[in-house]
Amino acid sequence: MRMSLRFILPLLLVLGAIAWSGAPLVGSLIERWFRADVEMRSELVFNSIRDTVVELATAPGDRKAQRRIDELFKTIAQDERLLAVGLCSPDGKLTNQSPAWPKRLACPKVTPAPHAFVVEAIETGPILVATFSLAANDSLSPRLVILHDLKFIERRSSSAEGYLAAALGLLALSAATVTVLVARITLQGWVRAVKQGLTPPAADGANDQPVPPEVAPLISNIRKILRDMDAPRGLGEAIKVDWGPESLRTLLRSELPNAEILVVSNREPYIHNDDDGQIALQRPASGLVTALEPIMRACGGTWVAHGSGSADRLTVDENDHIQVPPEAPTYTLRRIWLSEEEQDGYYFGLANEGLWPLCHIAFVRPVFRSSDWEHYVAVNRKFADAVVAECKTTNPTVLIQDYHFALLPAMIREKLPDATIITFWHIPWPNPEVFSICPWKEELLSGLLGSSILGFHTQFHCLNFLESVDRFLECHIDRERSNVRAGNATTLVRPYPISIEWPPLALAGQPPVPECRKRILERYGLKPSVRLAVGVERFDYTKGIADRFRAVGSLLERHPEWIERFTLVQVAAPTRSRLEAYRDTQVEAQNQADAINNRFGTDNWKPIILVPTHHEPDEVFTLFRAADICLVSSLHDGMNLVAKEFVAARDDEDGVLILSTFAGASRELHEALIVNPYDIQAMGEALADGLSMPAEQRRDRMRLMREIVGEHNIYFWAGRMLLDASRIRKRSNLERQIAIATTPGKPRQP
């Protein structure tokens, strides 16, 4: 309607102006036409009666002739437009006239030769006085005067003006209507063409139609703008920023102003346990928590997680909230309560007996139970409801963590369509053959595609995911831009190698390296001369703990000079112990350690010290600083942050890292001694190499690794994802604006 008025009003104005200025002109034209007509009629009348009048007028004294003239004049004057007819003598006297001759009108003074037409105004209005000389070329002959009423001309010209204005008005209206119709049809065509031009081609080529040439330049301009916004920022560009808490806060303020941040994970960052009637605080052994916690400390927001501690319920408020970190709160932890059955089905069952072995190639068979799946769906729904309830805005930025929540992105998207959902998969993604054994593969993929961004540690895992989508879902994959389009939603699939805080908080109170070494050697009763290797993990079968013990055996067998001169201290936090595979792992590791210790140990020395208890970050860092070697022998690992923490702990630039090639960290830490954990002998040799590596080489390697971890720290990880999220937001705002601007009749948003 508004668009139609935009066309009609100007057209009406223009045509109104034409009518206003042109109507008088038309009026005077019409007047002139009618006057010429009247003059012609006068001549006709004159010609038709001239002979009779000449004949009768030549006998002025003849009364009969005079009466006949009067009658003739009376008859002629009956014509509705003839007012009167009169005869004037050569000396200007009115000798005969029809009855309606105006009383005050005398004979015209002009001498007609042969005739004259003059307009006179009398009381009743304008008249035309047509005077004819009865004898041509004789100005002294009597004159016949015919009076015409001109009022009808005035009447006709003014109604002609009226008709003209109405006709122009009608014309304006029809022209405007036609213009609006044509404009609408053309615009709709353009909009269709622009939309089609911007829609990525369907896999089956269904929407593969040529773009009309008139909109092609517009489409290519819009495409260019969107491409520029999409262009992944190269690492080079990103590392120019010195990434830390402050730069992350600045980035949030500038790129995602007023963004509400929510993190969702299964594992909570702070666990409160009941320890003999006292409430004890525990920081869980979880790479995910290690990575995310500094970000929440920097940015604030709400972290939604399972309240798994035995004293967790005692420490929350009525909204199940607790402000953390306890020593200086900066964000809110919202705890979700799960029943035993829910934990069994969702966490131990589907997540850890199904998805964990499915995604890690460690040759542990995944178990899929329908009852576990039902709990998994229900718990994902429970977390989705909690996230929606916690949100204060309609477009929050939600950071979903890990394989416990594959369905959560789509569930949140359903309730908060404008949310920016960033999902990070902290573990590997298997190839499509392996993934195909999961009975709920389509549901898991569709759930994850509710994300705006889906992150993995490595490009390899991204490719595996895209291949799985390609194999099992109907959607469009843009490999060049690394995104998946399902319906109207696009998910960007990118590698974001996770990292740690730099410098780590746990490093702050650490004593110097020699002091750390002294404490650890004392704690485990080791001689000052012993060379120390450490391993720090959860007791998980993916970590290859028993394999590294075998490698110690191989070292001692092939290099007996290290007997009594080398010890591996293995710290391992029991984890998921309700599951048989985990209990078996612990038993196997313990047996392996015992076997090596029995074979090589002496009365005063054990090559392997296994400490199967949870250690807080401070203790772990002291251990790292005390060590000559850190041994990370994961059979398969998304990233492995222990490797990066070891590097971060060594501000003395010493220490050797032995790292599995199957851990994501090996893609970044090239200066580690990279090993295949399945090759026990090679791993034993790597231990020997590490123990005999010259100090200078150790320093050079450690420096390079510290550089990369320092630059690509956890703020860099979060910053890159948030930058991509902000680009996506800007892009969808732009698309929304284009849609509004090109949708006819749709009201503009304020």
Residues in contact with ligand G6P by the rule CB under 6 A? 267, 286-288, 402, 426-427, 538, 575-576
**Shortest distance, position 462 Cβ to ligand G6P, whole Å:** 17
Which residues are within 8 A (CB) of 25 and not within 5 positions of it... i.e. 6 or more apart? none
Query: Residues near 400 by Cβ (< 8 Å), separated by ≥ 6?
Result: 264, 265, 408, 409, 412, 421, 422, 423, 424, 451
Give whichever of 248 and 427 is closer to ligand G6P, judged by the CB atom.
Answer: 427
3-state secondary structure of 124: coil
Least CB distance to ligand G6P at residue 575 (A): 5
CB of 426 to ligand G6P, least distance (A): 4
Nearest Cα residue to 536 out of 513, 569, 566, 514: 569
- Distance separating alpha carbons of residues 365 and 352, to the nearest angstrom: 11
538 or 636: whose CB is closer to ligand G6P?
A: 538
* Distances in whole angstroms, Cα of residue 53 to Cα of each of 40, 74, 138, 727: 19, 13, 16, 103
Identify the CA nearest to 129 among candidates 106, 145, 151.
145
- Characterise 276 by phi-psi region: left (phi > 0), alpha (psi -120 to 50), beta (else): left
307: left (phi over 0), alpha (psi -120 to 50) or beta: beta
Q: Please identify, using beta-carbon distances, which residue of 575 and 666 lies nearer to ligand G6P.
A: 575
Q: Which CB contacts under 8 angstroms, 24+ apart, belong to 310-313?
A: 310/272, 310/273, 310/274, 311/272, 311/273, 311/274, 311/279, 311/280, 312/268, 312/271, 312/272, 313/337
Nearest alpha carbon to residue 483 among 749, 223, 231: 231
Closer CB to ligand G6P, 448 or 691, in the complex? 448
List phi, psi (to 5°) of 607.
Answer: -70, -25
Closest distance of CB 724 from ligand G6P, Å: 21
Residue bearing tokens 């100090």 = 695
Q: Which string of b and e fits 224-259 if b means at least 16 CB within 10 Å?
A: eebeeebeeeeeeebeebebbeeebeebbeebbeeb
- Which residues, 6 or more positions from 171, have their beta carbon under 8 angstroms from its beta carbon? 15
Q: How many CA atoms lie within 13 A of 510 on its CB side?
A: 28
CB 261 within 8 A of CB 722: no
As measured in angstroms, the least distance from the Cβ of 347 to ligand G6P is 7
Locate 629 and state its tokens.
């070697």
Beta carbon of residue 300, minimum distance to ligand G6P (angstroms, whole number): 22
Q: Cβ of residue 585: shortest distance to ligand G6P, in angstroms?
A: 13
> In whole angstroms, how close is the CB of 583 to ligand G6P at the nearest point?
15
Strand pairing report for 331-336 and 489-495: unpaired
Q: 286 or 397: whose CB is closer to ligand G6P?
A: 286
Q: How far is the CB of 587 from ligand G6P (least distance, A)?
A: 19
Q: Which is nearer to ligand G6P, 483 or 633 (CB)?
A: 633
Nearest to 576 by CA among 609, 540, 548: 540
Q: Which is nearer to ligand G6P, 286 or 622 (CB)?
A: 286
How far is C-alpha 722 from the geometric centre of its chain's CA atoms? 13
Least CB distance to ligand G6P at residue 576 (A): 6
546 half-sphere exposure, CB direction, 13 A CA radius:
16
Give the DSSP letter string of 309-349: STTHHHHS-TTSEEEESTTS--EEEEEE---HHHIIIIIII
The one-letter amino acid at 151: K
Choose among 232, 187, 231, 290: nearest CA to 504.
290
Q: Half-sphere exposure of residue 214, counting CA atoms within 13 Å on the CB side?
A: 7
Neighbours of 664 (CB within 10 A): 27
- Give the dihedral sign, CA 55/61/63/67: positive
Q: Are strands 94-97 and 82-88 parallel, antiparallel or unpaired?
A: antiparallel
* Shortest distance (Å) from residue 263 CB to ligand G6P: 12
We find the least distance from the C-beta atom of residue 267 to ligand G6P, in angstroms, to be 4
Per DSSP, helices labelled H in 97-242 are: 151-198, 216-230, 235-238
Q: How far is the CB of 632 from ligand G6P (least distance, A)?
A: 13
Min dist. Cβ of residue 368 to ligand G6P (A): 18
* Residue whose CB is less far from ligand G6P, 265 or 315: 265
C-beta closer to ligand G6P: residue 194 or 427: 427
Check: CB of residue 625 under 8 Å from CB of residue 642: no
CB of 346 vs ligand G6P, minimal distance in Å: 12
